[in-house]
Amino acid sequence: MSYTNVFTGSTIYPTEVALTKLDMTANVVLQWPTEAPLGVPLASEIVEITSSTSASWTIKVPDAMLVSVGQTILFNNRTAVAISVVDYNSIPIVSVPAGTQWQIYLATNTTQAGVWRQYQFGAATSTANAAALAGHGLRALGSQLESAVIVTYVDTDLVLVANDHAQFFNWESAGSGTITLPDPTLLDQAWYVYIRNTGNGTLTVDTTGIALINESNSLVFSPGDSALIANNSINFYTVGFGQSAIFAFDYTEINVGGAVDYTLTGNELNRIAYQFTGVITANIKVIVPATVQQYWVFNNTTGGFTLSIATATQISPLIITQDLRSIAYCDGADVVPAVTSFITGTISGGIF
């Protein structure tokens, strides 16, 4: 044999570590051979897994950005239970059942998690792998799939895209905001999202005039409102839009004693009848959201000071006289009386 080029004209690669024997007693994080100190488990060409326990352990692969695409690892599971292989961010790549061999290879290394492909080695028949089948609204649980809803907390305006399919968006801002839906003509009819307003202001779900949602260009979610929003590639529709109602008429009692304005929050919002109690030691306001809502108010406080009800920006709060009951409503900006005057007394004489 003769050589005309001592380097053969090709790239010389570093020596690979061929085999790692992994006797698992706990979850393991692998490291690339070029980065690892002595004694740590290596992400070699073949990882042979054994265990003296019956636990289903997890193996995490290293940072995908430290190697090139095409990097492969073959997992040979010689235990009696399934072993889960996850990426750098702990997202499942493949579940390796007992007695099987699965190989993964790196398809994209632009992030630490990377994109890993997987296929079963030496299988006489093909079997589906849950991690490979998981997608929007689904995740792998061992060798099975389960439905999954990922909650994303939002406090600024948001424009949704096709990849937000099956996500849960929970609005939690103290103010108002807008979530804009994507163009339904660019969506699969299976696309849907969950939206809930947990904040204190209104949340507008907008279509920017491209489509309709419940036959309107936009839909306003008051605090506590929620819905599943689906599409037919033309328009959007809601399922379960509105609040969870226990009774048609709702009532709550709140102690507002002290000298500080009281802001309705949480499950105090969107009730109908309110009784305010406690000893107030200064003129105070009960501050409500700037959303359309009615308020049946009983001022049962003591202390000789005034109690008023208003939105945060209202210039002239509505005073509720002590020991009296009043009906008011918010028109979206201010709280105003629902009845302007009452006439009491006896009408006598005359023919009507």
- Cα separation values, 142 from 8, 50, 54, 266, Å: 46, 18, 14, 38
Give CA angle at 303 (301, 308), nearest 5°: 55
What pLDDT does residue 35 have? 65
Alpha-carbon distance 182 to 162, whole Å?
A: 7
* Among the listed residues 41, 30, 26, the one whose alpha carbon sits nearest the alpha carbon of residue 66: 30
Per-residue pLDDT of the chain (352 residues; tens, 9 = 90+): 433 445 544 444 455 678 889 999 999 999 888 766 777 888 889 999 998 888 888 999 999 999 999 999 999 999 888 899 999 999 999 999 888 999 999 999 999 999 999 988 776 555 666 666 666 777 666 667 777 788 999 999 999 999 899 999 999 998 889 999 999 999 988 899 999 999 888 899 999 889 999 888 999 888 888 999 999 999 999 998 865 444 456 788 999 999 999 999 876 887 889 999 999 999 999 999 998 889 999 999 999 899 999 999 999 999 999 999 999 999 989 999 987 654 555 555 555 4
Number of Cβ within 10 Å of residue 350's Cβ equals 5
CB-based contact 178:157 (threshold 8 Å): yes
Degrees to nearest 5, angle at CA 82 with 79 and 87? 115
Give the start-to-end residue ranges of the domains of the chain.
19-146, 151-242, 251-337
Q: Is the dihedral of CA 262, 266, 269, 272 positive or negative?
A: negative
pLDDT number for residue 39 = 77
pLDDT value of position 341: 55
Fold classification of 19-146 is Jelly Rolls (2.60.120)
Residue 242 pLDDT:
67
The CATH fold of domain 151-242: Jelly Rolls (2.60.120)
pLDDT at 1: 41
Asked whether the domain spanning 151-242 has the same topology as the one spanning 19-146, the reply is yes
pLDDT for res 284: 95
User: What string of DSSP letters covers 36-102?
Assistant: PPTTSPB--SEEEEE-SS----EEE---GGGS-TT-EEEEEE-SSS-EEEE-TTS-EEEEE-TT-EE
User: How far is Cα of residue 7 from the mean position of the Cα atoms in its chain?
Assistant: 55
Distances (CA, A) of 78 to 7, 128, 179, 246: 40, 20, 50, 55
Q: For the chain, state the CA radius of gyration.
A: 32
The DSSP 8-state label assigned to residue 15 in this structure reads P
Question: Could you give the residue ranges of the DSSP H alpha helices within the chain?
Answer: 130-133
Distance CA 77, CA 74 (A): 10
> Are the CB atoms for 115 and 69 separated by under 8 Å?
no
* Six token digits for residue 188: 């699969």
Q: Residue 55 has what pLDDT?
A: 82
**pTM for the full predicted model:** 0.46
